[in-house]
Amino acid sequence: MTRWDTRRTARDERLRAGRAHATGKVVDPAKLADLLHDVIRPGDRVALEGDNQKQADFLSRTLAGCDPTRLNGLHMLISSVSRSEHLDLFERGIADRLDLAYAGPQSVRIAQMVEDGTVHIGAIHTYVELYARMFVDLAPDVVLLCAEQADREGNLYTGANTEDTPTIAEAAAFHDGVVIVQANGIVDTAALPRVDIPGSWVDFVVEADRPFFLEPLFTRDPRHIGPVEILKAMIAIRGVYERHQVVSLNHGVGFDTAAIELLLPTYGEQLGLKGRIARHWVLNPHPTLIPAIESGWVESIHSFGGESGMNRYAAARPDVFYTGADGSLRSNRVLAQLAGQYAIDMFIGSSLQIDADANSSTVTDGRLSGFGGAPNMGHDPHGRRHSSAAWLDLAHGDGASRRGRKLVVQMAQTFRAGGVPTFVETLDAVEVGKHAGMPLPPVMIYGDDVSHVVTEEGVAYLYRAHSLDDRRAALAAVAGVTPVGRSADARRVEGLRRDGLVAFPEDLRVETRLADRSLLAARSIEDLVAWSGGLYDPPAQFRDW
């Protein structure tokens, strides 16, 4: 007779074993290692919350210290492999297989461990792809998660950095997996500011030895924004935001988009664009957006995660930010990704390397850093069916085939620091992918998804090109004296300008002589604090006063 409840039976056994180390759902921190040894089984698929920002590091450190003779062969699902103990798991033989989305600071070590055969990579995903697979062919047996506070019934307050916790919890709680959560504090139910995840989804909670690790990934110090970033920002505002009347958008992280954020209340205001562009945002609470918010540019912001130091500010601006009834920020990566994919006019982000077809990658140093979330934002979603003015402005096709298009804008400086060209014949990613045995090169954003490229030379309106040859010529026209740019032919460039495939600053009435730091609404972190009326609390590494 067929058994239809093997997962449930296994879950029941795991819970029974785990309860020996817990009082109800509450685990004694000193017994966490015992619990993990007894709840997790060799060969299990284990999702460990390493998000883009927050890290369930009490759980990961404890798991990495487990006995590999008892716990081994684990298949880890870690969206952001960013802590050394994530890889210690493999070195110690506790885990051997890894599915991930992003490696970041561990990318060099991970590449070496793949080469040594210590880590077997299932696949490298974007964040939401990895979560999607948890509901299809990578259902986790055990998930190790992270919260601000829990009560004894397992109700969780995830706070400003909700990020991915509800999604991973759902994958386990609703398919007979076990949900184990570390919390910064275990409190009485009445003391929970709000419940983000119901206790009936949670099996065990443990008070962490120290607050979970959180990285301030979205803070850019305005002091590092120079005239070239400012010029690119001016070009983008006139040549993209104003031209297409971009109302809803996502900014990638980086100094280029930070410069745009800081130019809205100055340059944007002078152009009379307030209220006409950039009203609805999907992005983490970028500190550099504070001046635009305070100047009344921003109607709403929905966030993938939080940002260190921004919690008091976000709580004081609930008309703009999504907050709970308790007043604190709510973030949710899956819903922000949904919003960013289906409900906005534009994605704009920086790229480190772009080839002649406008394929781009952030892999430039031989490291396999993964994808994160950019590919999901940086493509035209073919499942979209509603219109907006900006989307229709890029309409293409005839008859039944006619439809609009999301603006996918890449910003880049023709040369990076040290005179390294950004525009290259072949992406480094091609070689890195080959070396790592990947089935395809790890391209971040594909050229045919890119509608515009902005450099300090001007804008290439790639979406207007009728042929691949025109696309390449338009891109070359803004690529400066890089290997790609040197192929540009002056006569042809004039034709492309006439036909609207390329615009230089003078075509956009951008006065390059104005591109200096006096245009920045804030020139330092201290300025941002002042703009916030003291509500922004920058992390220590960004303070020098």
User: Which residues, numbered 60-89, are part of the site for a copy of itself (CB under 8 A)?
Assistant: none
Query: Which CB sits closer to a copy of itself, 47 or 128?
Result: 128
**Which helix (DSSP H) or strand (DSSP E) does residue 423 occupy?**
strand 423-424
Binding flag, residue 514, a copy of itself (CB under 8 A) = no
Decide whether 201 or 212 has the Cβ nearer to a copy of itself: 201
Q: For the purposes of burial, counting CB atoms within 10 Å of the CB of 492, is it exposed (0-12), middle (13-18) or buried (19 or more)?
A: middle
**Which residue, 37 or 276, is less far from a copy of itself as judged by CB?**
276
The footprint of a copy of itself on residues 318-347 (CB under 8 A) is 318-320, 322-326, 330, 332, 334-336, 338-339, 341-344
Number of residues this chain uses to bind a copy of itself (CB under 8 A): 105
Site for a copy of itself in 352-391 (CB under 8 A): 355, 357, 359, 361, 371, 375-387
Q: Which of 20, 392, 481, 540 binds a copy of itself (CB under 8 A)?
A: 392
From CA 105, how far away is CA 374, in angstroms rounded? 18
- Taking the complex as a whole, the smallest distance from the CB of residue 251 to a copy of itself amounts, in Å, to 14
Nearest to 452 by CA among 373, 343, 346: 346
DSSP state of 368: -
Which of 329, 510 has the CB closer to a copy of itself?
329
Q: Residue 278 region, left (φ>0) first, then alpha (ψ -120 to 50), else beta?
A: left
Binding to a copy of itself (CB under 8 A) within 32-51 occurs at none
Q: Are 262 and 291 in contact (CB under 8 A)?
A: yes
Task: Name residues contacting a copy of itself, limited to 155-214 (CB under 8 A).
Answer: 155, 167, 170, 173-176, 194-201
Which range in 51-59, 83-91, 278-286, 304-312 contacts a copy of itself by CB under 8 A? 278-286
What is d(CA 478, CA 91) in angstroms, rounded to the nearest whole number?
47
Considering only residues 36, 111, 113, 139, which one is a binding residue for a copy of itself as defined by CB under 8 A?
Answer: 139
We find the least distance from the C-beta atom of residue 52 to a copy of itself, in angstroms, to be: 16
| CB neighbour burial string for 325-345, b if at least 16 within 10 angstroms, e if fewer | eeebbbbbbbbbbebbbeebb
Choices 47-55, 79-87, 111-119, 276-284; region in contact with a copy of itself by CB under 8 A: 276-284
Alpha carbons 278 and 378: distance in angstroms, whole number: 18
What's the number of CA atoms in the CB half-sphere (13 Å) around residue 250?
29
Contacts to a copy of itself from residues 412-471, by CB under 8 A: 426-427, 429-430, 439-443, 446-449
Quote the tokens at residue 425.
Answer: 């014949």
Least gap, CB of 228 to a copy of itself (angstroms):
26
| CA distance linking residue 159 with residue 180, whole number of Å | 18
210-249 residues in contact with a copy of itself (CB under 8 A) are 247-248
